[in-house]
A and B are shown apart, each in its own frame.
Chain A
Amino acid sequence: MQISYNWLSSYIDIPYDPEKLKHFLTMAGLEVEEMSYQGQGLEKIITGEITEVSDHSNADNLKVCQVSLGEEERQMVCGAPNVAENMKVAVALPGTTLPGGLKIEETELRGVKSSGMICSADELGLKEERQPGIMELPEEIQPGQPLVKVLMLDDYLYKLDLTPNYARCLGHLGVAREVRGLSDTDLEINWPDLLPERGRDYQESAVEVEIEDPDLCQRYTCRLIEDVEIKPSPLWMQRHLEAAGVRPINNIVDITNYVMLEYNQPLHAFDYDKISGSKIIVRRADSGEELITLDDEIRELTPEVLVIADQDKPIGLAGVMGGANTEVTETTEKVLLEAASFDAVNIRRTAKKYGISSESSHRFERKIDITAVAEASRRACYLLEKYAGGKIAEKLVDCYPEPFRKREIMLDAARANAHLGVEITGEKMADMLSGLGFEAEMQEGSRIAVRIPGFRRDVDGDADLVEEIARVYGYNNIPYTRPASAEPGGRTSEQKAGLKINRILRGQGLEEVKNFSLRSEEDGLTEQLEDYYHDHLALGDDGDGGGDYGGGDCCLEDYIVGLKNPLSRAFSRMRISLLPGLLEVLSLNSRKQIEEMAIYESGRVFGSRGEGRRPVEIDKIGLASMGAARDPWNLSAPDFFYLKGAMENLLKGLEIKDWNWRRIQLDIFHPGRAAELKFDERSVGVLGELHPDIIEDYKLPARASLAEMDGESLYRWAGYEEISYRGIPRYPSISRDLALLVAEDIPARDIIEAVSGAADDILADVDIFDFYRGEQIPEGRKSLALNMVFRDEERTLKEVEVEERIAGIIEVLEDKFEVQIRGK
């Protein structure tokens, strides 16, 4: 909705200048999205009168004009074919810039001085298409006037972003009521002139109205206007319509639009001669019926749709759009003017069904003032008589089966004050409400009986009235207070763990990323997760603590949650894993010559559990790395081991005790470089170097690696207890290294487990600190260097005890893995 300052001024003496009105409206809840000046760019153009036209001595197609500008006269050279003496024209003086950007300057045209330019309508931006000549202004105007005044363009426009509860302000009178109710000044509204109801001898109308579905049409009025003459509407009306963003068409259409923009009452004019018979039926359409609407679209009708029909056929989509078959045209003589009230929900559905959003449907959807239907009709009739030569001989036909009854709402002033945190007397509140058009009456105690007028159908209960009190009082006048807190705020253990996870990962040098949870139908990656989904993608559980796995009876395609109404293919389904997004982030950065990057994401993924069941939402932590520098074991796997280290530090940080890694194979990973993370027997994550084919496809540096962990499992297994401090060991420890040769395929983890098992009473720690293959190492074997730390909490260990344990350890290793101790 766009309103005009001048138009609004015709109903109320606005106590604000244009800029202040903008602020006032916004603070009243009628947010001004944009304010503009209608004569933008024409402020400096003035009117002139051509007093003399003579030929240009050096150019056949140019004329030299003397132009009177009231107080002075100037010479201007003009090339327009229609230039003539005594013509009233628009003049741009030197120093003026035209809306198109042309700067007018004092100049000479072929040797003749020209101090100004006589403008055409397109040069002034008043017409889009190129005009053949200069713009001719009405004869009666005086020279030397600002053009914006003469053309009635001296107006400010306000584009309002109205929320649904401000539907009453979809007409200027509604805005005028707000100004009256909310401004500090005592103001009255000048109501528009209406067709007199009495004092004329109206006949009973020949037109008959039948409402077949009174639940969908609560009131239908119409009136016959004869002998209309179709012509342009007066300039002021055209300007007002333009100011409101409505294109003028002809006097009949313009008047219906004009009254709609005054009263917020949509009106429709039928060409009466095109109606069969004299009966208007408001009914549901029959299946199979069709109607060509005013936009020339054929609409196939169904019984959910309410139509206006004559005895033979539908002639309009009720409240949405008229029919082409009864359209007012140049030759129309008799107009049947409809003013009605239709059911908001039905109109909304019809408009949606046909994809029409008309000025009319927009208003009916938001409920109009059913009590003002006849008044709006009379207003239009007044204008039709005055500006279309219409003859009105018949009474209004008003079919209004159940007249509106004002609701009464009891407002408790004490409660309103308690709600807002203010102290306003009941009398003052009643005053405030009356100013807005409510009928408010003080009752016993602090109660106010409030009757709700027809134009306030947004008001359902006392809470709405409290808002009105707050609006009039001024939101910004309500004092600032703060609610008391009985309990301290804080995070739950899980929320704290979530923060800790982020902190630990950042501490390892990983950068946090955020990817959309909506993905493309053809991302090229999700499909490659079929085996991941079947074997490792843990589904969330319903809270029984168990959790089950993906796979089983359903295939990946069925597991993916798709959107029913995606905006585009790019965002058409929910992610099932963080891996594809992380891979894309690496790829994007790699393409930008960023060679080294380590990232993580903490987010939700989704999975279907079958039709009609709520899809699962699972928290995941994903990690990815490319271009890591340190390759700890010289295995060309820096990214793999970087991520593994980060994950292990995360597990330690969360005080998770029993985890282990197992070799796995997945399509997206290098077949020999992928592992699964397990808590006991539960799979809680995967880690792997990307398959070389994917690395190539996505232009990634070699060895880039990805990992994903199940967030819920981390939360569940994390030790939430406070850090439990243990004293620093009081007795010295003894450290020993052991270098061994062992068959290549024996996992390091097995060696460590065997060592731990062989000396667990005093072995405090065992770790692998070196790994080597190659020169000096026999084919098929590898060299591992172990460091073992022995300690007893109670006493100082003797060398001989340690030597004994080491002998035992060696025996076990030789026995189990046929290791060969180096340097022995």
Chain B
Amino acid sequence: MNIEETINEVKQEFQEMFAEAQDSESLEEIRIRFLGKNGRVKKLYGRMGSIPEESKPVLGRELNKLKQEISKKLKDRQDKLEEEKKKKQLEEEKIDVTLPGSKIKTGSQHPLSLVTEELEDIFISMGFKIAEGPEIEDEYYNFKALNIPEDHPARDLQDTLYLDDIYLLRTHTSPVQVRTMEKTQPPIKIIAPGRVYRADELDASHSPVFHQLEGLVVDEQITFGDLKGTISIMVEEIFGENHSVRFRPSYFPFTEPSAEVDVSCIVCQGEGCSLCSRTGWLEIMGSGMVHPEVLRMSGIDPKDYSGFAFGMGIDRITLLKYGIDDIRLLQENDRRFLQQFK
């Protein structure tokens, strides 16, 4: 058989086998059979020595062509198979993307501390600092220094829990005003959030333990207008812009003039509903110009300085802000309640 015929035969054989090969193993087998050390193509090269010189270039080209063709075909199919395999694997790795995500625990912030922090941030942005004071107070700080003398009907306004003849649980955060003024000279601009206590039975709207936020500003030429401006900003920030605020005369022994601050009802917007007892307004805090006697007792001369103070119930604001109808929920700590405040 001459070499040309053999080449054609090899070509023919390859084509037949290649047509059958559909996996990597068969392809590898073919590769070894044709291109391996003892493969058919190699053998053909070996026979090159025995052919006439003049035919060599032509046959050499022919043979190279065959070798390249086989390699290429094998490689292309191998690549194709790899590609298909990869594709198949990715397809098999398909997941149900609608299954729920991992259960990563998320904490929550108690609504009271959420609102306290929010209030603090509002006042800090207006230049206030945060003051603190003890929850256990004595008569002087809780009453006397706030111009609430013994045997004054104003004491009826607050039912006090006493520890002994000297100490009591503060009934308001106002003692922090006194403590601040005693150790700081004006300008003073502080808020004091904290826990307070009253001899109130626990029910849906009363609690013996609750929280207040006190504010105090003392400087030269502080006016009632400043009080109004400061409080209205706070109300806007907490309840939103579409609420109106009104100030009406009231009485606190430690302020004069004193004002109760009302915000238009968050439920009925002033129409009158059961939440606002049909008045259209919700009482949210007490405020006023610091009584000159209180300034004097704390070592500040009312001739040179004036100031305003205010105090609000954080619990009440929390209930109003979130529409919670029972103050007891704030200390029950039911997880289904807590989880709502992130």
Residue numbers of A with Cβ under 8 A of B are 26-29, 31, 33-34, 163-166, 344-345, 348-349, 365-366, 418-422, 461, 463-464, 466-467, 470-471, 475-476, 478-492, 495, 499, 502, 505-518, 561-568, 571, 585, 588-589, 592, 594, 597-599, 602, 604, 606, 611-612, 614-615, 617, 629
Contact = CB atoms under 8 A, between A and B. Distances in A.
B161 A470 contact: no
Contacts of A495: 130
B249 A567 contact: no
Main SS of the interface on chain B?
mixed
B108 A511 contact: yes
B189 A349 contact: no
Contacts of B324: none
Contact of A483 (B106, B134, B219): B219
Contact of B153 (A366, A420, A478): A366
B256 A486 contact: no
A478 B162 contact: no
B249 A470 contact: yes
14 contacts: A27-B249, A29-B251, A33-B277, A164-B153, A478-B228, A480-B228, A481-B226, A483-B222, A512-B107, A517-B135, A588-B332, A589-B334, A617-B134, A617-B135
Interface string B107-142: 111101100010010011111111000111010000
Nearest to B290: A463
B151 A345 contact: yes
A163 B158 CA distance: 12
Nearest to A485: B127
B127 A487 contact: yes
Nearest to B187: A486
Contacts, number: 239
Nearest to B109: A512
Given A479-B225, A487-B127, A512-B110, A597 B335 contact: yes
Contacts of A480: 225, 228-229, 232
A479 B117 CA distance: 29
Contact of B107 (A486, A499, A511, A564): A511
Given A164-B153, A470-B224, A475 B249 contact: yes
Given A31-B260, A461-B292, A615-B163, A481 B335 contact: no
A33 B276 CA distance: 11
A479 B128 CA distance: 22
B251 A166 contact: yes
B333 A463 contact: no
B107 A509 contact: yes
B197 A518 contact: yes
Contacts of B103: 629
Given A29-B251, A480-B228, A483-B217, 4 more contacts: A33-B277, A486-B187, A489-B126, A571-B209
Given A467-B257, A481-B226, A615-B136, A475 B248 contact: yes
Interface string B233-266: 1000000000000111111000011111000000
B163 A562 contact: yes
A665 B257 CA distance: 59
Contacts of B289: 419, 463, 466
B105 A489 contact: no
A529 B336 CA distance: 30
Contacts of A617: 134-136
Contacts of A499: 117
Nearest to B138: A614
Contact of A489 (B129, B230, B247, B335): B129
A419 B224 contact: yes
Contact of A588 (B113, B166, B333): B333
A418 to B, nearest CB: 6
B291 interface: yes
B189 A489 contact: yes
A790 B14 CA distance: 58
